Structure 1
Amino acid sequence: MPLTLATWNINSVRLREGLVARLLREEDPDVLCLQECKSPTEKIPVATFAALGYHHVVMRGQKGYNGVAIFSKRPIQDAGSVDFAGLDHARHVAARLDCGAMIHNVYVPAGGDIPDRDQNVKFGQKLDFFTHLRDHFHADRPSRAILVGDLNVAPLEDDVWSHKQMLKVVSHTPIEVEHFEEAREAGGWTDVTRLDQPQGKLYSWWSYRAPDWVTSDRGRRLDHVWATRDIIGAAHGSRVLKDARAWDGPSDHVPVFATFDI
């Protein structure tokens, strides 16, 4: 049975409840993974999404910051969460689908503005998060699993508007890309989006600071869909819903989709 999954850093689920509802109505994914919900679990508007058919949910909330949630039309079971890097942040939650596949929803720290862990604690936390992610999935090798989320790294040259100008900017520095790739490889994960769209510029985030984000188009691909090798052959249809960046009161991120025949 095909499973279409979407991942979206919503930048406040309560503020953008209407945009989430619009996405569910217009795109009708089977599963939606949200990051940066910025809400305690009990205040996430689950009733709104349940009314649209998303009766199943697992969440980890946090007042004003972070927060991850998985909404599904198909039955899911809460499969726990990991406090990566020991930050005591709501940045990971896992769910098991009725078909047995596992979904990991991850929100990696942005890392601040200075790409130096000695000068910037947040950058060190980001690197430590990836190290813990690497070690966790190396020790407990995933199978029939999908990992999605705002991973806050644009790893490839075509994942940023200017590779040369971004090399010293947090999200595209060589040390971040190294940690990102080590974590991906340790779990045996494959980048589904780039498997489907291997060539060309591709972004999922545009800064709020740009007065005209469409014209400048200085984006980054920060949002990812990964799959383990045993189901990567079932993955297809990955796409980025760029139009959502132009919706009224948007997040600075847009949804990323993929379909799996599982």
Structure 2
Amino acid sequence: MSVSPPPLKRRRLSNSKTDVGATVSVRTSTIEPLRIYSWNVNGIQPFIQKPITSFFQPKKSSPKQAKAETKATASFRDFLRRHKWPTILCLQEVKISPDDEATKLAVQKAVKSAKAEEPDYEAHFCLPSDPHNARGFGRKVYGVCTILRKDFATKHKHSVRTVDWDLEGRIQVVETEDPKLSIWNIYAVNGTDNPYKDSKTGAITGTRHDRKLAVHKHMLEEAKALEARGYGVIIAGDLNIARSRLDGHPNLRTFPQQHVVNRMDFNKKFFEADDGLEAIDTYRHIHGDEKGYTYYPRGRKFGSSCDRVDLIMCSKSLEGSLTDAGVLASEKERGPSDHVPLFATFDLEEHRPAETEAEEVQ
């Protein structure tokens, strides 16, 4: 498997010669760098205060106990502030029931700014509606939430949508027209031997491994169709795939064999095949063969067993715009989850079909 090299330094253009009297195009506005963070939080509850109705229980508690119980143990605002106000924060595995309006409102409150000098954010949800494959735990399974900075949303014509081939609350898409971007927040299927059922009839059509491979196919088709329409595609989230030996410690998972098949299919479709997406793995593009992991299971010493299963990958057309990427691998950044956040930064001036005006060189 080939690994993309670190990006080449851009050539300086300040010394290039231009004929006197020639007309050149110059940009009339600039775009702030696009900074995308992604994090599988493994449940949203530690980040929000419980609604007051959750305390209407027969067992009485003192006011002091109730106050302690309502306090969130982690803070989205602290996270956003610590990382200098990312443009987009993609959260996976939020585990919110689609009928739980109180929790959705609590998340909106948790990301809202209380200070005029700090950026404000809005939260968008994609939660499970599949009646046959997302029923456990009161439907508090899967789910993604995209936290979007309001000034970015206001400045750029944008839309937020889902895809018609997912009803498990796994994929949400933010799209902008200037520049033309399609940014995916994804919590990919974790392949298992458990049955997968037709979302309409409930009939068993295969295993969760089969469903994972089908989702790869849907993802590729959707991404290529968007690229054909001029969009740069950015896919961020928990892909539930460790791409190579570099991405598993102490070992890469190779049993059962179907995990190897899933990995090969993913790499072929998105990175290797000429008729695939030929995407850029942002972490590998910036850091080469340097090891960096995103999944750190709880109950084990931090770093003793870990995998890079969370990725931010992008269209090849965005390769020149990618300026930074990384993994925030520490117990502090892991917080109450079993994953750590990752990020990628794009300078989109070159990608944008910017408005230009003619300027005569004197």
TM-score (norm: length of structure 2)? 0.63
Aligned to 2:237: 149
Distance in 2 between residues matched to 1:37 and 1:68, nearest whole Å: 6
Distance 2:164 2:188 in 1: 11
Listed as ranges, the matches of 1:187-206 within 5 Å are 187-206=277-296
Aligned with 1:109 (options 189, 192, 196): 189
Structure 1 partner of 2:90: 33
Show the 5 A alignment for 1:45-124. Answer: 45-51=107-113, 53-62=119-128, 63-73=139-149, 74-75=152-153, 77-84=158-165, 88-97=167-176, 99-112=179-192, 121-124=207-210
Any conservation in 2 of the 1:35–1:68 contact (CA below 8 Å)? Answer: yes
SS of structure 1 residue aligned to 2:215: helix
Greater Cα offset, 128-137 or 2-11: 128-137
Q: Which runs of 5+ in 1 are unaligned?
A: none
Report Cα offsets for 1:8-60 as digits up to 9, x if no partner.
Answer: 11111223342433211211212101111111463231121022634333321
**Aligned residue-pair number:** 250
The amino acid across from 2:80 in the alignment is: L
1:166 paired residue among 227, 237, 253? 253
Larger radius of gyration: 2
Task: State the Cα distance separating 1:233 from its structure 2 match.
Answer: 0.9
Does the residue aligned with 1:70 lie in a helix, a strand or coil? strand
Residue number among 282, 298, 306 corresponding to 1:208 in the alignment:
298
Asked if the contact 1:149–1:223 (Cα under 8 Å) also holds between the matched residues in 2, the reply is yes
Residue 234 of structure 1 corresponds to: 321
Distance 2:163 2:236 in 1: 15
SS at match of 1:32: strand
State the TM-score, normalized to the length of structure 1.
Answer: 0.84
> What CA distance in whole angstroms lies between the structure 2 residues aligned with 1:177 and 1:234?
27
Corresponding position: 1:23 with 2:79: yes
CA RMSD of aligned residues (A): 2.6
3-state SS in 2 of match to 1:101:
strand
CA contact under 8 A between 2:191 and 2:259: conserved in structure 1? no
- Rate the CA distance shift 1:101–1:195 in 2: closer, same or farther, 3 A: same
User: Residue 296 of structure 2 aligns to which amino acid in structure 1?
Assistant: W
Report the secondary structure of 2:175's partner residue: strand
Q: How far has the Cα of 1:197 moved from its partner?
A: 1.0
Q: 1:54 to 1:99 in 2, by over 3 A?
A: farther
Residue of structure 1 equivalent to 2:8: none
Structure 2, unpaired ranges of 5+: 1-31, 49-73, 129-138, 195-203, 349-362
Runs of 4+ displaced beyond 6 Å: none
Alpha carbons of structure 1 residues 123 and 225: separation in structure 2 relative to 1, 3 Å: same
> Which residue identity is paired with 1:49?
V
SS at match of 1:242: coil
> What is the percent sequence identity of the aligned residues?
24
Deviation per CA, 1:193-217, whole angstroms, max 9, x where unpaired?
110111122100011242x124x2x
**Higher RCO by CA contacts (8 Å cutoff, separation 6 or greater):** 2
In the superposition, relative to structure 1, how do residues 113 and 203 fare at CA in structure 2: closer, same or farther (>3 Å)?
Answer: farther
